[in-house]
Amino acid sequence: FRVEHQKFNAAPIKIGKNCWLGSNVIVLKGVTIGDNVIIGAGCVIYKDIPSNSMIINKQEHIVKNF
């Protein structure tokens, strides 16, 4: 199968400066992660994350802004 014939839907991912993503983090298409962001292991990021945030659970709830 050639890639052109598969129905992939893609968009760029933007990761800011000084970010830390734990192991097994999945970032989905089109997401922008701001500067100084910490994302804990195993999280699935499906929406934009503002700068200076910490995400540590799998529901993508912002735990702390600093």
In this predicted structure, what is the pLDDT of residue 46?
93
Q: Which CATH number fits domain 1-66: 3.50.50.60, 3.30.300.180, 1.20.1060.10, 2.160.10.10?
A: 2.160.10.10
For 2-41, write each residue's pLDDT tens digit. Answer: 666 777 788 999 999 999 999 999 999 999 999 999 999 9
For residues 50-65, average pLDDT: 75
In this predicted structure, what is the pLDDT of residue 64?
62
In this predicted structure, what is the pLDDT of residue 15?
98
- Residues near 18 by Cβ (< 8 Å), separated by ≥ 6? 35, 36
The domain limits of the chain are 1-66
In this predicted structure, what is the pLDDT of residue 9?
80
In this predicted structure, what is the pLDDT of residue 22?
95
